[in-house]
Structure 1
Amino acid sequence: MPDSHSPHSTARSWLTIAAPTATAGVVGAAIGLGAQLVSALMEARGYSNTVIGYNGTFGGIATIIAAACTPHIARHFGVVRPILVMLIVGGSSFLGFYWFQNQYMWFGLRFTLHFAMTVMFILSEFWVNSAAPPQRRGQILALYAMTLGLGFCAGPLLFSFVGSQGFLPFGIGCTIIALAAIPVIAAWNLSPRFRDSERVPFLHYIFKVPTSTMAVFIYGAIQLGAVTLLLSFSIQIGYTEEQSGHFMLALALGSVLLLVPLGMISDHINDRRYTLLGCALIGFGGSLLAPAFYHNPLALTVILFVLGGVSAGLYTIGLAQLGARLKGHELAAANSAFIFCYGVGMVIGPTLIGQAMDWLPQTGFALAMATFFGLYVILVVLRLIKKLFFS
């Protein structure tokens, strides 16, 4: 039996972790850069915020369909082959945005890009969860989540440097996706198998743990709504395309840097719903406060940083609450419900935020964000009251 601590074994273990982690980073960067590029091009060509929001909605539809299809794909083709195919599909989608000028083609390309990225995300999450040793699972999953978040940061940062004109931004997006194939191919024989026993029904769990599933619904709505429409919002209130990229970077950095303190707080509170409520209240207040600082770029950057953190906190703390409440097959089913609700949020968020911006050009973006946070506050308060008086 080989020594589990030998250099060869250690290298294999790290390669097994590196492959899905690199895939997660690519997913974040591709979505972050792609959403900015498409929004910038549609804004420049005079499309309304509602139409731009509908385009973002196609990403959410793709996520829902991909969440339903991925287990079937993995059972038939394994983990590595679908990831490599989706890398090709995602890279081709990026180039398609450059080569095709028809808005209807862009809807289709948005769908294929998000479908590919979602399949890669689900399979990489399954891979890293399977590969992580129990005694270090928390650390490794934290590294995985941070890489995903840093990918979201890298997309807007790249956009702020290269802009939306010419072939360069599309070529960079395609290249980033292609580079992820290197560790995936290197770890081909180390990937896990998707077992038939992991196929479980999940719709029931949307209502069994509603504070978790609705937390990720709100996160999906706000995240994709902001990624899709923050550029249009920034231009509407007088900022440049480059400044919009800086605002997006602040939002993305908040979603990475505030996760650790929020996670530490939630670990020291017996009922994580109080931490979820705190995140939603801060998001609600920050969204309402934002219009007062539209013409103060530093203050607006700070507000967006905090909003990015508390919205991502809904996702991570909701997921932690799910793991604390459920185990085994129940947890597997609930995770599927979690991803499904995330996709539904991605469908609804860009559409409603885009319409709000058309109805109320100056305040629609902030009020729509506040509405999502406010509805979640009401849900959590009702659940806590129910626990207090009826449990």
Structure 2
Amino acid sequence: MLQISGAPSSSLSTTQIRGIIAAIAAITAVGLSLSASLPLLALTLEYRGVGDTWIGINTAFAGVASIVATPVGPYLARKLGTPQALLISLLIAGVTLPFFFVLENFWAWFPLRLLFHGATTSAFIISEFWINALAPSKHRGFLMGVYATVLALGFTSGPLVLAVAGTTGALPFLLAGAGIIIAALPVLIGFKAAPRIENEATSKLYTFLWIAPAATMAGFTFGAVEQSAISLLPLFGLKVGLTPQAATLLVSAMAAGNMVLQIPLGMLSDRMNRRHLLIYCGAFGLLASLLMIPLSSSFYGICLLLFLWGGVVAGLYTIGLTHLGARFEGANLASANAAFVLMYSIGQLVGPASTGFALSTWGATGLPLLFAGFLGAYVIICLIRGTRLGSAP
């Protein structure tokens, strides 16, 4: 059996606070630069005359890189130390990014994607382990909610870099790469506050899919739904009769809910059974997905619904990570975090492809119906697993 335990203390020490702030600051800087680089890379390929299909294939390769790199983060953290592993990941990502501008050969972008997205994946795994390991059980949900909120702000602010630096030339690549390297500063500040991994995990990474399915499948479900919504909600808006400008605001409504509701949901998870709360979030997301169909005729109605839907469904990520932190520690927690990110990455690959097919086949209703399908399947899996576990947390 895996060790099940909470954080070492119910209150935050000065060292814990410094370490948590360092990890959150570092990964927020990565998120900001990453959200600037993703559209920048797609636009650069388009400027260079690469076709839409190949741009899509190269972009999807980022998900492949994330899946391949998932076991690397915990391994490096155990072998080198948590802050050392995070610094290496940040350095590789920051140095690699400008080479997308330097190397004009399209095929060279595939190994670059492996390096860049593999390194950023490792950075996310190590940072989330860092925060989870230091957070006391009494405040773990709140702190993960703060992490999710600040990270969402970073992702939202990323495109502002492109607005200032433009989307052509070397400058935006250098700025985004520098943003990732600058993330090393808070890591150095919190270097001595980082958690250590003393031993190897007692179970292999994939076994956490069976040990903690409510959490790991939450990662898959949120990855599939979030990526599909970001990519295809504007198309859904056009199909229900909205103007292009109004259709893009649907994503903004969803993102606003994500930012506003994570701290309240995290605090709620500190006061109730987290597995139950994950089921409630999935069930609400299922119902709200179905309500998108009748409410699509009202712009303000669909925006309000997407605000609530986006925030509650994003709770799958926040509460899922919190649930893992409450159950595991040390190397097991690092591996559980890696399994969570692995499932999130697979969801990001599966979601947009299947949702795009649903939109093509069933029209506007295809998007909410597929969202309902993902969320409904998640709820069923949790209920079945919960029946076998009884009252386990």
TM-score, normalized by length of structure 2?
Answer: 0.75
Residue-by-residue CA offset, 1:80-107 (whole Å, 9 max, x unaligned): 3443333233234443444556655555
In the superposition, relative to structure 1, how do residues 248 and 113 fare at CA in structure 2: closer, same or farther (>3 Å)? farther
Select the residue among 54, 58, 65 that pairs with 1:62. 65
Q: Does 1:84 align with 2:87?
A: yes
Cα deviation, residue 218, structure 1: 0.5
CA distance in 2, matches of 1:19, 1:31: 18
Q: How does 1:1-391 map to 2 (within 5 A)?
A: 15-38=18-41, 54-99=57-102, 104-132=107-135, 140-156=143-159, 161=163, 165-167=167-169, 169-188=172-191, 190-198=193-201, 200-228=203-231, 240=244, 244=248, 246-270=249-273, 272-290=274-292, 298-324=300-326, 334-357=336-359, 359=361, 362-383=364-385
Q: Do the aligned partners of 2:355 and 2:366 also contact (CA within 8 Å) in 1?
A: yes
In the superposition, relative to structure 1, how do residues 180 and 297 fare at CA in structure 2: closer, same or farther (>3 Å)? farther
CA distance in 2, matches of 1:41, 1:229: 21
SS in 1 for 2:205: coil
CA distance in 1, matches of 2:299, 2:105: 34
Cα deviation, residue 340, structure 1: 2.9
CA distance in 2, matches of 1:137, 1:269: 12
Cα deviation, residue 68, structure 1: 0.7
In the superposition, relative to structure 1, how do residues 61 and 97 fare at CA in structure 2: closer, same or farther (>3 Å)? same
SS in 1 for 2:37: helix
Mark the runs of 5 or more structure 1 residues left unpaired by the alignment: 1-8
In the superposition, relative to structure 1, how do residues 112 and 261 fare at CA in structure 2: closer, same or farther (>3 Å)? same
SS in 1 for 2:98: helix
Mark the runs of 5 or more structure 2 residues left unpaired by the alignment: 1-12
Cα deviation, residue 25, structure 1: 0.5
In the superposition, relative to structure 1, how do residues 289 and 124 fare at CA in structure 2: closer, same or farther (>3 Å)? same
**CA-atom RMSD, angstroms?**
4.0
CA distance in 2, matches of 1:88, 1:331: 24
SS in 1 for 2:222: helix
Q: Do the aligned partners of 2:78 and 2:331 also contact (CA within 8 Å) in 1?
A: no
Q: How many residues align?
A: 375
Q: Do the aligned partners of 1:19 and 1:184 also contact (CA within 8 Å) in 2?
A: yes
CA distance in 2, matches of 1:64, 1:176: 24
Residue-by-residue CA offset, 1:246-292 (whole Å, 9 max, x unaligned): 5444333322321233334445544x444323322332333344456
- Write the letter of the residue equivalent to 1:319: L
TM-score, normalized by length of structure 1?
Answer: 0.76
Q: Do the aligned partners of 1:32 and 1:227 also contact (CA within 8 Å) in 2?
A: no
SS in 1 for 2:120: helix
Which segment drifts farther, 304-313 or 134-143? 134-143
CA distance in 1, matches of 2:205, 2:327: 15
Residue-by-residue CA offset, 1:94-143 (whole Å, 9 max, x unaligned): 43444556655555444433211111122223334455567765654443
